[in-house]
Amino acid sequence: MSDLFSHHGEQLRQHHAPLADRLRPKSLDDFQGQEEILGPGRLLRRAITADRVGNLIFYGPPGVGKTTLARIIAATTRAHFSSLNAVLAGVKDLRHEVDEAKRRLDQHGLRSLLFIDEVHRFNSAQQDALLPWVENGTVTLIGATTENPFFEVNKALVSRSRLFRLQPLQNKHLHQLLERALRDTERGYGERPVQISAEAAEHLVDVAGGDARSLLNALELAVETTEPDDNGQIAITLEIAEESIQQRAVLYDKQGDAHFDTISAFIKSLRGSDPDAALFWLAKMVEAGENPRFIFRRMLISAGEDIGLADPQAVVVVEACAAAFERVGLPEGLYPLAQAALYLASTEKSNSLLGFFDALKNVKASNRQAVPAHLRDANRDGKAFGDGVGYRYPHAYAEHWVAQQYLPSDLQGQVFWQPGTLGWEGERRQRLQQRRAAQLAAAVEHQQELGEMLSSGPDDPELERWIQRQSGSEGERLDRLRQELWSQATWQRHDRVLVLEARSLLWALDPLQRCPEGGVVIQAASAADQTRLGTQLEVLDSLDRPRLIQELSELEGSGQRFEWIASRHPLKQCSDEDLQATVASFTALAAPKAQLRLLFSQPKLGPAAGLRQGSTPPEDLAALLERVMVIEQEMLAPTPDPAALEVALTQQGWRLEWKTWEERLELPVNENLVTRWFAADAPYLQHLSNHLSRAEIDRLSAALKQRLKGKIPQVLQHQLLIARRSA
């Protein structure tokens, strides 16, 4: 009977649960957003699907799917799943879960997953109590936190977990969620006559600011408090939507990442002489309730550190502004606060302080306020999430300035400060306009170089040792070519990589090392290569192991799109007629802004040319060598034809650049080399047979054998094609 009552109670709780809870996705296919870490082929999706989830920590703002992901894992795992909320649970609850996990493991061999919501709320003692059981595998931890785990979570727990940073949902995802809520007859409002205007829907999505829970709570409030009209319709107008969700929240915790990242961006904007960005970050701190005295203290430091004797009045101005603030108070005190910031960014007083309030309006109205990764505080978790990577230190450049963007991506080009034409600011007006133009010109290139690092995880010593063994096994020459193939590649840990026509694992080693949360797929050049490469990969863990395929058609329907596509010596067997179709086939697998890297190596000298150089052969042999050298030049025409390849790639939307260099070698002449050239099925011999008699071929072969144990020169031309795909 108690089970019947419990089941009935659970049904009632589900029926009366908030809309946001009722609409939680039940599977990965229903999950909205976070494609960068959950897209097809990426590590987290593969791990969930394979029920190989290890210790995880999900980190991100509210309403982006942290708890939902944990519930999806609970629904798919064969392990026992239990959960605690760190706000309500204590050490006693932890010990109970650990004891139960030990019992299940000892008696039934059953693994246990323990989900801890708001894991940062556990104090040090509670986290320490959990650590031994995570270390010995008694429980597998899945934590969710809105705070930086590198600062708020036990470092030992962090080092044993993979970290995934979840981002605010995009507007398209929120619109899809809104439509599902109105259409779903079981969990949403599909059975009720709800009509929402386009303006109302746009307002709800915009003000929700990437928070799915905020959006659904506002929709629920609007529907439940709106009376049906005469036709029985519940009409949600823009006015009702505005009453249901009135103000966008500025995500800011004075003790957390937002505090440190925002003040870091503010100081770097001052140092970079960008008054627009300085006003924006100042406005964000003011709107979030940051103590102005703290801002003044940091500006005093900046006046000494970044202005110094270049303008000794900087400290005086900031100090005077701080004193004025103390006398005037808020809200009028915002004027001297903004004045000090503008002075440090471009040094002098002016009546253009009203630009601060333009920035303040923008903070209130802007939907995307995230600090760009290169401006974030790198001292706390730069290694894990790449915070601060790519920041260009202005003092390292001429005139202590470099073209660099300090505003969020969605606000590039926004102008808050309009300097007048008179006095101190008039003298700097033209320079500021030139610098703004340079910043805009550099913005596109800088965004291509940098990306958001969304995941982190512990190092894998076994994988590192395996990669070192593989890279050393192919020889120093090929290892240098591997470095050229991937030179200046800007990897993201969650990138997916496709290696075409591989005969060796050498070209896949870099992505295996740099993209542990993404995925590597290797297309073998032949069935024999696939078998051989598969044997070499068997020693790797199944989650680390790249996928081996023979035909690109095996990826059809998988949904995988690759940020990197690369190959050494591709398309050799591809005729000009098939080139277009082959290029189209791998282009269809390229993600937006994907990069293609193809490395071609072409000999410039054949055997006859090598014999001719550095020696004076008999007259009859010299004449034969001259004829053969002409034949060899025909043979050495590059395949595929670079011009035809350029046309095929350009038609598919790739932007191309070539890098060309030569390598000079001395080929040791031995029996194997002569056999490779003159065996019955050798392409070189077959081509010569179309132009020379048998006697002439034998004469050439004999001349080479006379050089056994000697060397002949060779020149290789290497061409690296780097192509980028438009968004």
Where do the structural domains in the chain lie, given as residue ranges? 34-165, 171-244, 257-449, 459-568, 596-727
Q: Beta strand 711-725 with 654-668: parallel, antiparallel or unpaired?
A: antiparallel
Structure tokens belonging to residue 46 = 């593969």
Q: Which of 354, 338, 353 is nearest to 281 (CA)?
A: 338
Output helix, strand, coil percentages for the chain, rounded to the nearest 5. Answer: 55, 15, 35
Concatenating the DSSP letter of every residue in 579-619 gives HHHHHHHHHTTEEEEEEEEEEEEEES--HHHHHHTT----H
pLDDT of 449 = 47
pLDDT of 340 = 92
What is the dotted CATH code of the domain comprising 34-165? 3.40.50.300
Q: Which of 13, 20, 60, 7 is nearest to 38 (CA)?
A: 60
Per run of 10 residues, the mean pLDDT along the chain (length 727 residues) is 46 66 80 82 83 84 81 82 82 86 87 86 81 84 83 79 83 84 80 83 79 81 80 80 60 56 88 90 83 87 78 87 86 89 74 57 70 73 62 81 78 73 66 77 55 58 67 72 89 90 88 87 90 85 86 88 91 79 90 92 78 71 80 76 88 92 83 79 79 83 78 84 86
Structure tokens belonging to residue 602 = 């072409």
pLDDT of 497 = 94
pLDDT of 7 = 45
Pair 725, 594: CB distance under 8 Å: yes
pLDDT of 707 = 77
- Dihedral of CA 201/207/211/213: which sign? negative
**Residue 720: φ, ψ to 5°:** -105, 115
pLDDT of 499 = 94
CATH 1.20.272.10 is held by the domain 257-449? yes
pLDDT of 549 = 92
Name the helix (H) or strand (E) containing 261: helix 257-271
Domains 257-449 and 459-568 share a fold: no
What's the rounded Cα separation, in Å, for the pair 657 and 436?
Answer: 28
What is the dotted CATH code of the domain comprising 171-244? 1.10.8.60
Specify whether the backbone of 486 is left (phi greater than 0), alpha (psi in -120 to 50) or beta: alpha
Fold of 459-568: Rossmann fold (3.40.50)
Count of Cβ atoms closer than 10 Å to residue 420 Cβ = 12
What's the whole-model pTM score?
0.66
| HSE-CB of 495 using CA atoms within 13 angstroms | 25
